[in-house]
Amino acid sequence: MGNDPEVLVIGAGFAGLYTIHRLRGLGISVHGLEAADDVGGTWYWNRYPGARCDSESYYYCYSFSRELEQEWEWSERYPGQAEILSYLEHVADRFDLRRSFSFSTRVVAAEWDGDRWVVDTADGTRWTCRWLVTAVGCLSSANVPDIPGLESFAGTWHHTGQWPHEGVDVTGQRVGVLGTGSTGIQAIPVLAASAGHLTVFQRTANFSIPARNAPLSASEAAGYKADYPAIRAVQQASTNGHPFVVSDVDTLALPAGERRDLFERAWERGGLRFRAAVREVLTDPAVNDQASEFIRSKIRSTVRDPEVAETLLPRDHPFATKRPPIDTEYFETYNRSNVTLVDVRADPVAEITPDGVRLASGAEHGLDVLVFATGFDALSGPLLRLGIRGRDGVALTDAWAEGAATYLGLGVAGFPNLFTITGPGSPSVLTNMPTSIEQHVDWIADLVAHLRARDLDAEPTPQAQERWAEHVREAADATLLPQAASSWYLGANVPGKPRVFLPYAGGFARYREMCDAEADAGYPGFALRERRRASA
């Protein structure tokens, strides 16, 4: 194979690992390139205090191997970062995947030369391949805001997605956290427990549901293992790839007391199931208002200082139109005497000084450690950073200047033999991602086998891509999701990023059926070219 496998895969997270395993199983020569020095992806990089999954352990895992499902033991309802990383390391060992990867190898350019992909890495190595599969993740490009003065800061600063492996000792320190998304909401309670003082800089107040994490008992674990066929069937038929059936109760028709009881039960059970307990929460504004107001009432009754509670009340977007965080004692943390909440929408950050953060009003907050929980240049960001050039040298950055466009989130017109796992326009981040990843990898593996058997190259047709973009828009517009103006789903968190609703909101099951129909019909949305003509 040398430096010329049939397929090159970029990334060694859930997606890259399974791609290598699946393609190897088909007898296709395949190699992976990964910037990190080991496997894990998200769970290799995100080692911030409190990093934990919001999907539950029994389904935040692969389903492709019945033996793996039965032998792995999860210890908690929601697995922590270290446990998920151990799981992925175990998968790499069990299926002997590491031998197919080059680690500490960052891809900096990938160009289609009319016949093959020519891929360059930061260490100066060149690879070629016929098919290029990106498994670079949706949330792997850290977004560090460009705030004047950061270089002058005398303390230390860290982005949560690039957290030092040796950890950061904040004992007794003055710590600042910028950002109250899922990451900030997980990190804040844990940091507050050991920091001398914690200052939270909040731009947008967020809804959050208690996780209710707990050890997984032996009987619960055994029950899940026995039920896996049924659990997987529910996931495949679901909107979000989670094994929950969305409630069929019409909450609008319920008397107020019964409605409150329904919300209370869902709140007590905790987690992302809360969303599934409220039918049409993402499509009917009246239903959403009820759920939003219920959560606001919980914030008011949890946070003792009414002014702080008021600042924490989310009002600028309906519940779940931004990815809903789940938490462990997040709102309770604001009752601690060593925690200060600062509203940086009312008084924005002006600059970072050697001593901390200065706001537009001139108010200063002294800090020893500044934590950027400011998220990611999501979905398109990691792909644009690959330096991809397609047919006729067209750069992906130019093709996507007005916003990312794909066919099914799996390929891009003008970029032959490039397949994107959980790319923009796929359900990806709106789902339990291992479920979506397995569906994508299986679909791409079948396509590559189809092309290989017939000696064909493939790329989406511009017409199919345009139709898909329209469908992605319609699917988003049929929901309340576009109402969250500051959402990273829209690219709104990165200055200058085109505002396009990036994931496909039409639901996982529907999407899977459309992908299957595309394959069954012989890939009509792709131009399939005989190899000799393509290289002539």
Which residues of this chain interact with ligand FAD, rule CB under 6 A?
Answer: 10-16, 33-36, 41-42, 44, 46, 51, 53-55, 60, 106-107, 135-137, 139-140, 183, 382, 385-386, 421-422, 432-433, 437
Taking CB under 6 A as the binding criterion, the range among 8-16, 172-180, 420-428, 464-472 that sits at the site for ligand NAP is 172-180
Residue 450 binds which entry of ligand NAP, ligand FAD, none, CB below 5-8 Å type-dependent: none
Q: How far is the CB of 162 from ligand NAP (least distance, A)?
A: 12
Q: Which residues pair with 111 in a beta bridge?
A: 118, 389
How far is Cα 368 from Cα 197, in angstroms, rounded to an integer?
A: 10
Burial 390-421 (b: 16+ CB within 10 A, else e): beeeeebeebbeebbbbbbbbbbbbbbbbbbb
Site string for ligand NAP, 375-394 (x = CB under 6 A): xx------------------
Residue 15 binds which entry of ligand NAP, ligand FAD, none, CB below 5-8 Å type-dependent: ligand FAD
Backbone angles phi, psi at 76, to 5 degrees: -135, 165
Q: Which of residues 338-357 bind ligand NAP (CB under 6 A)?
A: 344, 349
| Chain center to CA of 186 | 15
Residue 460 binds which entry of ligand FAD, ligand NAP, none, CB below 5-8 Å type-dependent: none
Residues 6+ apart with CB under 8 A from 495: 146
Residue 189 binds which entry of ligand NAP, ligand FAD, none, CB below 5-8 Å type-dependent: none
The tally of CA atoms less than 13 A away on the side-chain side of residue 527 is 15
For residue 183, state whether it binds ligand NAP (rule: CB under 6 A): yes
Q: How far is the CB of 60 from ligand FAD (least distance, A)?
A: 6
Count Cβ atoms below 10 Å from residue 334 Cβ, excluding itself.
22
Count Cβ atoms below 10 Å from residue 213 Cβ, excluding itself.
19
Q: Which is nearer to ligand FAD, 271 or 416 (CB)?
A: 271
Indicate the residue whose CB is closest to ligand NAP: 181
Q: Residue 361 corresponds to which tokens in the numbers above?
A: 């009003």
Whether the CB-CB separation of 386 and 393 falls below 8 Å is answered with: no
- The DSSP element (H or E) to which 262 belongs, if any, is helix 256-269
Q: At residue 489, what is the residue type?
A: Y
Residue 493 binds which entry of ligand NAP, ligand FAD, none, CB below 5-8 Å type-dependent: ligand NAP
Q: Which of 12, 20, 23, 53 binds ligand NAP (CB under 6 A)?
A: 53
Q: At residue 11, what is the residue type?
A: G
Q: Which is nearer to ligand NAP, 53 or 480 (CB)?
A: 53
How many residues form the binding site for ligand NAP (CB under 6 A)?
26
How far is Cα 392 from Cα 395, in angstroms, rounded to an integer?
A: 9
Residue 506 binds which entry of ligand FAD, ligand NAP, none, CB below 5-8 Å type-dependent: none
Residue 526 binds which entry of ligand FAD, ligand NAP, none, CB below 5-8 Å type-dependent: none
How far is Cα 226 from Cα 70, in angstroms, rounded to an integer?
A: 9
Q: How far is the CB of 123 from ligand FAD (least distance, A)?
A: 11
How far is Cα 507 from Cα 276, in angstroms, rounded to an integer?
A: 13
Grouping H, G, I as helix, E, B as strand and the rest as coil, residue 203 is: coil
Site string for ligand NAP, 125-164 (x = CB under 6 A): --------------x-----x-------------------
Q: At residue 486, what is the residue type?
A: S
Q: Which is nearer to ligand NAP, 132 or 136 (CB)?
A: 136
How far is Cα 424 from Cα 28, in angstroms, rounded to an integer?
A: 26
Backbone angles phi, psi at 186, to 5 degrees: -75, -40
Residue 375 binds which entry of ligand FAD, ligand NAP, none, CB below 5-8 Å type-dependent: ligand NAP
Residue 373 binds which entry of ligand NAP, ligand FAD, none, CB below 5-8 Å type-dependent: ligand NAP
- Render 409-451 in DSSP notation, one character per residue: TTB-TT-TTEEETT-TTSSGGGS-HHHHHHHHHHHHHHHHHHH
Q: How far is the CB of 93 from ligand NAP (least distance, A)?
A: 25
Q: Are β-strands 30-33 and 7-10 bridged in parallel, bridged antiparallel, or unpaired? A: parallel
Residue given tokens 């895992």 in the structure block: 61
How far is Cα 266 from Cα 318, in angstroms, rounded to an integer?
A: 18
Residue 426 binds which entry of ligand NAP, ligand FAD, none, CB below 5-8 Å type-dependent: none
Q: Which of 186, 238, 290, 417 binds ligand NAP (CB under 6 A)?
A: 186
Q: Residue 73 corresponds to which tokens in the numbers above?
A: 């033991």
Site string for ligand NAP, 403-442 (x = CB under 6 A): --------------------------x-------------
Residue 251 binds which entry of ligand NAP, ligand FAD, none, CB below 5-8 Å type-dependent: none
Residue 42 binds which entry of ligand NAP, ligand FAD, none, CB below 5-8 Å type-dependent: ligand FAD
Write the burial class of residue 524 (CB in 10 Å: 0-12 exposed, 13-18 middle, 19+ buried). exposed
Whether the CB-CB separation of 6 and 29 falls below 8 Å is answered with: yes
Taking CB under 6 A as the binding criterion, the range among 174-182, 243-251, 385-393, 500-508 that sits at the site for ligand NAP is 174-182
Q: Which of 116, 242, 275, 323 binds ligand NAP (CB under 6 A)?
A: 323
For residue 54, state whether it binds ligand NAP (rule: CB under 6 A): yes
Give the footprint of ligand NAP on this chain (CB under 6 A).
52-54, 139, 145, 178-184, 186, 203-204, 323, 344, 349, 373-376, 429, 486, 488, 493
